[in-house]
């Protein structure tokens, strides 16, 4: 293997690694705040990419009725809870936020000339009908069992994953989708031809990671999330709502997932079930970071991308085996070095 | 308590009644991968099964259509349900090789004739009960090897799925390669859901083969093809019969231009010469299918279910003369009748079954097609 080939493979690995890094950060965030091992994270990649493909082709976002339906369900559940608590004053806001807003959005989108809109506007519309699924799923599937064990939350996550894959097939069909790149063409850097989209991916991923770091360090919501991650009970005693923290981190993870999908859909075809494997590789990255450290998770995810790229050159038939085998020494190392902390100490 | 006690016998009575009522009809069990990774195959297969007649030769036909979700375990469960609960007389099952093998085991065990919807290595007792309307890989591989020889291409690079589809194609090419003076290699593998094949493609390019074959299905087949072109590969790129679909053109765009695909005759039925036996049935099926599911929905895979029914509909009247549906004798008679079928014209060529050949195809079951100006053009046969 000469330097040119090594460089090409590295470029390929870093591109995919950047996506895995974004997902691994979202996974760490969700796990730290809610203790949910968020298997459906990858589904948002597919939903984001395929919704964008639909909007770009001038079709209505396929998931819009799902957003409306789940919105109505959330409105009902929240209203019942509010009435039980005797807080009827909250009802109008609950109904407007969860039920009226999605319906209005659907009506607006129906009359927009989707195909002729500017690319960034199309991205916003696609995200607008995928990202709300994150908090909606949290409210309906996870919030009622928020205090349950990690294992139970994992099982709920697996169930949500299967439901989302199945609905993905229904919404988007079995044939995949692809979208035009943010900027056509590319540039020759030394021996390698680099597509502009690749630069977009790595650049935006870096920006998003920096943005998340700023958010956690400096914003009040970010600090609330961190506080919840460090100590749920303590945070609650300080007046931080665990439900709000959960919804917020699910929104963030849905946004990161869906946007990752839109980033890679121009360089590869995304299918309704592509997300799962991408999410799993992000998960391997997150495991390397012990599901706790953001920088380690991101570094681990890039390592996964590189390993994948080089093993696809040397032993393509065993690529996945090599990537996922990476977990074993990492887990072994972690279980030997870390002191076991009981997750269930909250109870 | 009283209510509970009285429901149970009622339920048993009802189910017995249901079972006896079903015995008088012909029951056909269909298990296809309508969901999961092979949904591109199973979807049109399911759609086709829903088009088939519900009464035939004076008998009512009950179609029991199940989803095997591209999962051999689910396929095996479906088989035991179809065989034990529905007492089917005939099985049409197995969208992919692993699920087809699961179906073949169940068919042999229960002595029920099976039309497998994917090429499979069934042998012995399994082969006795399994008939395979889709074309054997060897038949398809030969067509590409012939074309390579005619165009003086001697080395063939391979990039295919890291599953049984890829593996069986390697076997099929290796079996015929020596005869046509072709050497195979390097062989690279990828996954349907991979987001990049750069590593594999760079390795292929370094070996500079005269031609490269992409062994994949539908839209995922476009990715290696596109990457090869983007990286400047100038040789001929071949695709298999799993790839032919509107999605390949849509996703691949100008990058798949010039690619040559081996395909069953159904997909390009309108370009077949009038002398080709499959032109007429292909057109009839295509119109019926697209009439119900919309223009441009025609898929090569649904045609295999159609052919399975064509073969079955010729055998059922013969079997009815010998035994009543729902009995082991009927199933055995049906199997014997299918095995004896000659010159049955399907949408994928002409079937001539024999005790040793349960595929029954000849050269009329394959065509070579090239992508020209963003459309599929028939280039031979």
| Residue B254, both tokens | 């100008």
Residue from the list B159, B162, B251 with its beta carbon closest to the beta carbon of A178: B251
| A26 located within any domain | yes
- Is the ipTM of this structure higher than 0.95? no
CA dihedral A248, A250, A253, A257 (to 10 degrees): -130
**Which chain A residues are within 8 Å of B36, Cβ to Cβ?**
273
Q: Distance between CA atoms of A149 and A58, rounded to whole angstroms?
A: 44
pLDDT of residue A209: 87
pLDDT of residue A90: 87
Q: Distance between CA atoms of B212 and B148, rounded to whole angstroms?
A: 10
Distances (CA, A) of A118 to A51, A56, A125: 16, 10, 11
**Which chain A residues are within 8 Å of B37, Cβ to Cβ?**
273
Q: What is the pLDDT of residues A232-275, one digit of tens each?
A: 888 889 888 888 999 999 999 999 999 999 999 998 889 998 99
Cβ–Cβ below 8 Å for A19 and B195: yes
Distances (CA, A) of B368 to A30, A305, B144, B211, B268: 52, 38, 8, 15, 10
Q: Distance between CA atoms of A45 and B130, rounded to whole angstroms?
A: 41
**Which chain B residues are within 8 Å of A277, Cβ to Cβ?**
191, 193
Q: B2 CB contacts (<8 Å, ≥6 apart)?
A: none
CA dihedral B244, B245, B251, B255 (to 10 degrees): 30
Structural domain count of chain A:
1
Q: Which of A213, A207, A47 is nearest to A136 (CA)?
A: A47
Q: Which of A237, A275, A291, A277 is nearest to A35 (CA)?
A: A291
| Whether pLDDT at A346 is above 50 | no
| A42 located within any domain | yes
Cβ–Cβ below 8 Å for B220 and A319: no
pLDDT of residue B20: 44
| Residue B70, both tokens | 């591209």
pLDDT of residue A342: 53
Determine which helix (DSSP H) or strand (DSSP E) holds A119, and give its type and residue range: helix A119-128
Question: DSSP labels for B103-138?
Answer: HHHHHHHHT--EEESS-----HHHHHHEE--SPPHH
Distances (CA, A) of B261 to A256, B244, B351: 39, 7, 22
Beta strands in chain A (DSSP E): 186-189, 192-195
Q: Tell me the domains of chain B and their CATH numbers.
A: 2-135+299-364 (3.40.50.2300), 137-263 (3.40.50.2300)
Angle of helix B279-293 relative to helix B39-49, nearest 10 degrees, comes to: 90
| Residue B104, both tokens | 């073949």
Distance (Å) from the alpha carbon of B277 to chain A's nearest alpha carbon: 31
Q: Distance between CA atoms of B316 and B334, rounded to whole angstroms?
A: 6
**Which chain B residues are within 8 Å of A169, Cβ to Cβ?**
35, 39
Distance (Å) from the alpha carbon of A313 to chain B's nearest alpha carbon: 4
Phi, psi of A194 (to 5 degrees): -110, 125
pLDDT of residue A347: 44
Q: A157 CB contacts (<8 Å, ≥6 apart)?
A: A36, A37, A38, A39, A40
Q: B20 CB contacts (<8 Å, ≥6 apart)?
A: none
CA dihedral B53, B56, B62, B64 (to 10 degrees): -50
Residue from the list B40, B191, B195 with its beta carbon closest to the beta carbon of A175: B40
Q: Distance between CA atoms of A123 and A52, rounded to whole angstroms?
A: 6
Cβ–Cβ below 8 Å for A316 and B188: yes
Distance (Å) from the alpha carbon of B38 to chain A's nearest alpha carbon: 8
| A21 located within any domain | yes
Q: B58 CB contacts (<8 Å, ≥6 apart)?
A: none
Q: Distance between CA atoms of B12 and A11, rounded to whole angstroms?
A: 66
pLDDT of residue B18: 47
| A29 located within any domain | yes
The mean pLDDT of A177-186, rounded to a whole number, is: 87
What do you get for the CA distance between the two ends of chain A, in Å? 56
| A347 located within any domain | no
Determine which helix (DSSP H) or strand (DSSP E) holds A161, and give its type and residue range: helix A150-172
| A229 located within any domain | yes
Q: Distance between CA atoms of B278 and A309, rounded to whole angstroms?
A: 45
- Residues belonging to chain B with any Cβ–Cβ distance to chain A shorter than 8 Å: 35-37, 39-40, 43, 159, 162, 188-200, 202-203, 206, 218-220, 222-223, 245, 247, 250-251
Q: Distance between CA atoms of A168 and B37, rounded to whole angstroms?
A: 12
Phi, psi of A234 (to 5 degrees): -60, -45
Distance (Å) from the alpha carbon of B116 to chain A's nearest alpha carbon: 22
Cβ–Cβ below 8 Å for A8 and B35: no
Residue A142 CA from chain centroid, whole number: 16
CB A192 within 8 A of CB A13: no
| A87 located within any domain | yes
| A201 located within any domain | yes
Distances (CA, A) of A73 to A102, A249, B157, B166: 12, 20, 54, 45
CB A77 within 8 A of CB A141: no
User: What 8-state DSSP symbol labels residue B276?
Assistant: S
Q: Which of B369, B283, B258, B259 is nearest to B378 (CA)?
A: B369
Cβ–Cβ below 8 Å for A174 and B195: no
Residue B113 CA from chain centroid, whole number: 17
Cβ–Cβ below 8 Å for A316 and B196: no
Q: Judging by beta carbons within 10 Å of its beta carbon (0-12, 13-18, 19+), is residue A15 exposed, middle or buried? A: buried
Residue of A nearest to B43 (CA): A174
Distance (Å) from the alpha carbon of B219 to chain A's nearest alpha carbon: 7
Residue from the list B40, B159, B193 with its beta carbon closest to the beta carbon of A274: B193
CB B334 within 8 A of CB B315: yes
pLDDT of residue B6: 53
- Residues belonging to chain A with any Cβ–Cβ distance to chain B shorter than 8 Å: 5, 8-9, 12, 15-16, 19, 166, 169, 174-176, 178, 264, 267-269, 271, 273-274, 276-278, 309-314, 316-317, 319-320
pLDDT in tens, chain B (381 residues): 444 445 555 455 445 444 444 456 899 999 999 988 788 889 999 999 999 999 998 899 999 999 998 899 999 999 999 999 999 999 999 998 889 999 999 999 999 999 999 988 889 999 999 999 999 999 999 999 999 999 999 999 999 998 888 998 999 999 999 999 999 989 999 988 888 899 999 999 999 999 999 999 888 899 999 999 988 899 999 999 989 988 889 888 899 999 999 999 999 999 999 999 999 999 999 999 999 999 888 999 999 999 999 999 999 999 999 999 999 999 999 999 999 999 999 999 999 999 999 999 999 999 999 999 999 999 976
pLDDT of residue B256: 93
Residue B8: Cβ within 10 Å count: 9
Q: Distance between CA atoms of A253 and B292, rounded to whole angstroms?
A: 41
Cβ–Cβ below 8 Å for A9 and B202: yes
Its domain, for residue A236, covers 3-342
Distance (Å) from the alpha carbon of B70 to chain A's nearest alpha carbon: 13
Residue B115, strand partner residues: B92, B131
Q: Which of B107, B196, B210 is nearest to B158 (CA)?
A: B210
């Amino acid at each position: 293997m000469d330097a040119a080939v090594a460089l090409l493979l590295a470029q390929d690995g870093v591109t995919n690694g950047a996506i895995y890094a974004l997902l691994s950060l979202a996974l760490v965030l969700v796990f730290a705040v809610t203790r949910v091992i968020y298997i459906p994270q990858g589904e948002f990649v597919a939903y984001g990419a395929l919704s964008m493909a639909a909007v770009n082709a001038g079709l209505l976002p396929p998931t819009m009725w799902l957003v409306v339906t789940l919105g109505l369900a959330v409105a009902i559940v929240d209203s019942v809870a509010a009435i039980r608590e005797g807080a009827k004053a909250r009802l109008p806001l609950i109904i407007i936020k969860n039920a009226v807003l999605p319906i209005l959005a659907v009506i607006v989108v129906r009359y927009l000339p989707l195909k002729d809109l500017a690319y960034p506007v199309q991205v916003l519309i696609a995200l607008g009908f995928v990202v709300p699924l994150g908090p909606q799923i949290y409210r309906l599937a996870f919030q009622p069992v928020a205090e349950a064990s990690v294992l139970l939350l994992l099982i709920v996550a697996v169930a949500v994953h299967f439901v989302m894959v199945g609905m993905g097939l229904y919404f988007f069909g079995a044939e995949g989708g692809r979208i035009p790149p943010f900027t056509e063409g590319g540039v020759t850097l030394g021996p390698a031809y680099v597509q502009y989209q690749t630069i977009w991916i790595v650049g935006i991923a870096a920006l998003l990671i920096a943005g998340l770091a700023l958010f956690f360090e400096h914003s009040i919501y970010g600090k609330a999330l961190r506080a919840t991650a460090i100590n749920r009970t303590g945070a609650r005693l300080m007046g931080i709502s665990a439900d709000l923290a959960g919804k917020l981190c699910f929104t963030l993870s849905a946004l990161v997932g869906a946007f990752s999908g839109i980033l890679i859909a121009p360089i590869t075809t995304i299918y309704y079930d592509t997300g799962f494997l991408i999410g799993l590789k992000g998960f391997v990255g997150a495991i390397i970071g012990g599901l706790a450290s953001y920088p380690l998770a991101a570094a681990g995810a890039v390592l996964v991308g590189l390993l994948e790229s080089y093993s696809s050159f040397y032993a393509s038939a065993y690529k996945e085996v090599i990537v996922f085998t990476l977990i074993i020494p990492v887990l072994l190392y972690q279980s030997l070095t870390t002191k076991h902390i009981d997750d269930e100490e909250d109870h | 308590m009283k209510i509970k006690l009285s429901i149970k016998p009622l339920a048993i009575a009802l189910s017995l009644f249901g079972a006896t009522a079903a015995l008088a009809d012909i029951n056909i069990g269909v298990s296809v991968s309508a969901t999961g990774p092979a949904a591109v195959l199973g979807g049109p297969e399911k759609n086709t099964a829903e088009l088939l007649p519900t009464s035939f030769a004076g008998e009512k036909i009950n179609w029991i259509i199940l989803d095997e979700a591209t999962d051999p375990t689910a396929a095996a469960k479906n088989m035991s349900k179809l065989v034990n609960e529905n007492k089917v007389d005939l099985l049409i099952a197995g969208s992919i090789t692993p699920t087809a093998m699961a179906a073949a085991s169940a068919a042999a065990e229960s002595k029920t004739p099976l039309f497998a919807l994917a090429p499979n290595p069934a042998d012995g007792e399994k082969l006795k009960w399994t008939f395979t309307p889709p074309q054997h890989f060897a038949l398809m591989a030969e067509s590409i090897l012939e074309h390579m020889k005619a165009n003086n291409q001697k080395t063939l690079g391979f990039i295919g799925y890291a599953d049984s589809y890829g593996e069986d194609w390697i076997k099929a090419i290796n079996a015929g390669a020596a005869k046509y003076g072709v050497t195979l290699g390097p062989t690279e593998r990828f996954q349907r859901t991979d987001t990049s094949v750069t590593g594999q493609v760079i390795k292929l390019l370094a070996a500079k083969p005269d031609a490269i074959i992409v062994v994949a299905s539908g839209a995922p087949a476009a990715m290696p093809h596109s990457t090869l072109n983007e990286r400047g590969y100038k040789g001929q790129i071949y695709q298999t019969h799993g790839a032919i679909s509107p999605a390949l053109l849509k996703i691949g765009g100008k990058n798949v231009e010039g690619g040559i695909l081996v395909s069953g005759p159904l997909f390009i039925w309108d370009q077949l010469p009038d002398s080709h036996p499959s032109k007429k049935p292909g057109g009839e099926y295509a119109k019926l299918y697209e009439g119900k599911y919309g223009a441009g929905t025609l898929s090569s895979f649904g045609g295999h279910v159609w052919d399975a029914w064509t073969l079955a509909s010729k055998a059922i009247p013969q079997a009815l003369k010998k035994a009543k549906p729902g009995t082991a004798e009927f199933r055995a008679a049906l199997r014997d009748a299918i095995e004896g079928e000659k010159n049955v014209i399907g949408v994928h060529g002409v079937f001539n079954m024999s005790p040793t050949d349960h595929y029954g195809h000849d050269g009329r079951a394959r065509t070579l097609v090239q992508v020209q100006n963003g459309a599929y053009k028939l280039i031979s046969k």
